[in-house]
Structure formats: structure tokens, C-alpha cells
Amino acid sequence: MTPAYASPPLLDVQSLQIDLPVGGVPVRAVDDLSFTVARGETVCLVGESGSGKSLTALSLLRLLPPIARIGRASRIVFDGTDILQLAPEPLRQLRGQHVAMVFQEPMTALNPVRRVGSQIAEVVRAHTTRRSAEAWEDAVRMLEAVGIADAAARARQYPHELSGGMRQRVMLAMALVLRPQLLIADEPTTALDVTIQAQVLDLLRAQRVASQMALLLITHDLGVVAEMASRVLVMYGGRLVEEAPVDVLFSRPAHPYTQGLLAAVPGIRQDLGHTRAADDEAPRLATIPGTVPALGAFPSGCAFRDRCPLAVAECASEVPALHQIGPAHRARCHLVREARSEAHATSPSHEQGAVRP
């Protein structure tokens, strides 16, 4: 079960399953994924390439390739409406107007033969009754809002005439021009230098605060996660392996994969149980051995077991369940279950026959 909120979440994903054909055989690319995003909340979806993050993002707006298949038990409920059950016209109205997406590669997402201002204005015309001149004015104002200087002139340029940072801002302007309730941003700072990255993140944060927009941020950059997230979802092998509030995840990661990701970030490794270099040696950057297997090549049981330093025999035979560790904190690991069982057995309340949550 996903964490409970005082009011219904804006986005409620339940039992999401996505199959892709590999060699003519359907292979599970996303497996039984459930999570929520509350109104005004920033949730970060984290994991290495191949973990299923982008497929998950595309599924939320039914933008998966035609060869993909979503499981019959899957539910993607936005503001009370199951997106998977929408007819084409209501789905078109939902996209852009209520839920918007910033794609990973702005140069391929933007139309290379149309001026960037007209591409933003097209979003306005598609979802409102505003005339062409009014939609163009909205586009220019939005370019100004995302920090593009001389916006009126830039609006008349083509994507190839803009820098990578400017193209990403154009994508943000296109996504935000109708003030959506939910923004899905897939690696929005990839390939940007640190200065532009900081500016893009500031823009996302400012827009979220100004309109109480919810933000689902897909990234592999834990620095971005630390700066932006209120809650973090960690994926590996198409499954959710850990979920926690951002401060809990960074201070008390429970899954070995999450621990490995954090240990590989300079400056936050000292409390994660990894060997430290001697005082007179330069610290070595920790790594997770091996690579993410190709789709269809994940091992049985726990998908991470071949790379996990703590794997036991049970990891090969049984997919671990998501175990509740604390408020809004859960992890998919057999060792978490065993640690909870040991703590339960040795606690005074257990000896007295009390029932613990």
C-alpha cells in the first residue's frame, strides 16, 4: 500500500505493469509499481538508466510506444480520473492543460523547423479559446517568466539557434504556460552545466510554489534529489525498491542499492558503512559493482542480488516484498524483514505480549 494522506492524492498509481517485447516474448519492464504524488508535493523518482523511470513517466500520459502493454490491473488515477480509461479527446485535454511533461532531450522534443514561440503558442491555442495574437503574447510572457532575456526576439528563433540551456527553458515554458496541476520532468538538467542546472531547478521550485503545482522529477542525480525532493522513490529492475522522505533516505537508507547510490556521492559516504581511506590518502569514490542488466536479463528473485554485497540464498529464490520500516518509509529487501523481526523479538513490548505496528 502507498502512504495515506489527509486528502486524496493528486496522482495515484497502483499496480503499474508495463511489458515490452524482447525477441518476440513479452518482458516485464515495470513491475507492480505503486506510488502517489500529493498536491504541491515534489517527488523524485531515482535510479540508474534501465531501471524503468522514463517508461513510468511516459505511461502517466499514455505516451508509451505502441509495442508496450500496460497490465489490466494497473491504475493511473489523476484527480479522481483513471487516465488509462480516458477516451482520446478527454486525454488530449488532460495533456498539457492539467498534466504536462518536460522531456529528456529538448533538441529532439522541439520541432526544428518551427519558431519556439509558435510552438509554445500552439499549446495555448489547442487548449483555450485565445486567438493567435493572444497566444503569441502568452508565449513571450512565459519565456520571460522562465528567465530568457529579450524574450520577444528569442520567440522568433528556431531551436538550433538557442543554447542547450535556453532550449530546456523553452521546454519548461511550453509545459508551464497553462499552469498544469502536475509537471512530470524527465532528467530536466541532463547535459547542462552546473550554473544553468541551478537556474532550471530554481525555476521549477518557483513555479511549484507560485501555483501549488505538484512535481514528479525523474533523475539519477542525487544532488538534485537532495535539493528538490520532499519524498524519494528508488527504482531498480522495474520495481520500487525503496520509498522515504528525503531526509530519512539520506540519513537512514535501508536498501543495499540505495546505500550504494548514496555511497557513490562524494561527501555523504561516511555514515553508510563503507570503508574510508586512511587520513593520508585521497578518499576513493565508492562504486556499485557490475551494470544494470539488459531488459529480460534480470536474475530471478531480487533483481539486484548479482550486484549486492549482502545477498543471501533467499535473494535468488524469492522476490522480496516491500516492508514498512517507519512512517512513509519502506524497502524491498529480505534483510529489512529480518532486521524488523529481530527487533520485534527482542523488544520489551514483545516479551510482554504487546502488539506492535
CATH number reported for the structural domain that contains residue 137 in this entry: 3.40.50.300
Query: 214 and 242 share a domain?
Result: no
Query: 261 and 195 share a domain?
Result: no
Cα–Cα distance measured from residue 287 to residue 276, given in angstroms and rounded to the nearest whole number: 13
Q: What is the DSSP secondary-structure string of 154-178?
A: HTTS-GGGS-HHHHHHHHHHHHHTT
Residue 3 in domain: no
Query: 231 and 133 share a domain?
Result: yes
- Across 174-185, average pLDDT: 94
- Across 291-305, average pLDDT: 92
Residue 263 in domain: yes
Residues 6+ apart with CB under 8 A from 25: 296
Query: 217 and 243 share a domain?
Result: no
Residue 159 in domain: yes
Query: 225 and 295 share a domain?
Result: no
Whole-number percent of the chain with pLDDT over 90: 66
Residue 251 in domain: yes
User: How far is the CA of 350 from the CAs of 201, 330, 346, 356, in angstroms?
Assistant: 47, 22, 7, 8
Cα–Cα distance measured from residue 293 to residue 201, given in angstroms and rounded to the nearest whole number: 31
Whole-number percent of the chain with pLDDT over 70: 87
Q: H-helix or E-strand containing 100?
A: strand 99-102
Query: 292 and 323 share a domain?
Result: yes
Q: What is the pLDDT of residues 106-125, one digit of tens each?
A: 778 899 999 999 999 999 99
Radius of gyration, alpha carbons of the chain:
22
Cβ(98)–Cβ(77) under 8 Å? Answer: no
Q: What is the DSSP secondary-structure string of 284-307?
A: PPP--SS-PPPTT-PPSSSTTGGG
User: How far is the CA of 282 from the CAs of 262, 267, 274, 285, in angstroms?
Assistant: 19, 13, 15, 9
Cα–Cα distance measured from residue 266 to residue 170, given in angstroms and rounded to the nearest whole number: 32
Asked whether the predicted pLDDT for residue 353 surpasses 70, the reply is: no
Structural domains of the chain, count: 2
Cα–Cα distance measured from residue 81 to residue 8, given in angstroms and rounded to the nearest whole number: 12
- Across 188-198, average pLDDT: 80
Query: 213 and 301 share a domain?
Result: no
Cβ(287)–Cβ(269) under 8 Å? Answer: no
Cβ(218)–Cβ(53) under 8 Å? Answer: yes
Residue 50 in domain: yes
Residue 191 in domain: yes
Query: 60 and 101 share a domain?
Result: yes
Query: 202 and 183 share a domain?
Result: yes
**pTM for the complete prediction?**
0.87
Residue 280 in domain: no
Last residue of a domain, one of 235, 262, 295: 235
Last residue of a domain, one of 235, 262, 294: 235
Residue 64 in domain: yes
Cα–Cα distance measured from residue 58 to residue 1, given in angstroms and rounded to the nearest whole number: 23
Question: Could you list the residue range(s) of the whole structural domain that residue 268 is in?
Answer: 238-273+286-351
Mean pLDDT across the chain: 87
User: How far is the CA of 286 from the CAs of 140, 249, 357, in angstroms?
Assistant: 46, 18, 36
Query: 135 and 23 share a domain?
Result: yes
Q: H-helix or E-strand containing 44?
A: strand 42-46
Query: 42 and 126 share a domain?
Result: yes
Cβ(59)–Cβ(13) under 8 Å? Answer: no
Query: 248 and 217 share a domain?
Result: no
Asked whether the predicted pLDDT for residue 267 surpasses 90, the reply is: no
pLDDT band at 342 (very low <50, low <70, confident <90, very high): low
Of the candidates 71, 69, 93, which has an alpha carbon nearest to the alpha carbon of residue 81? 93
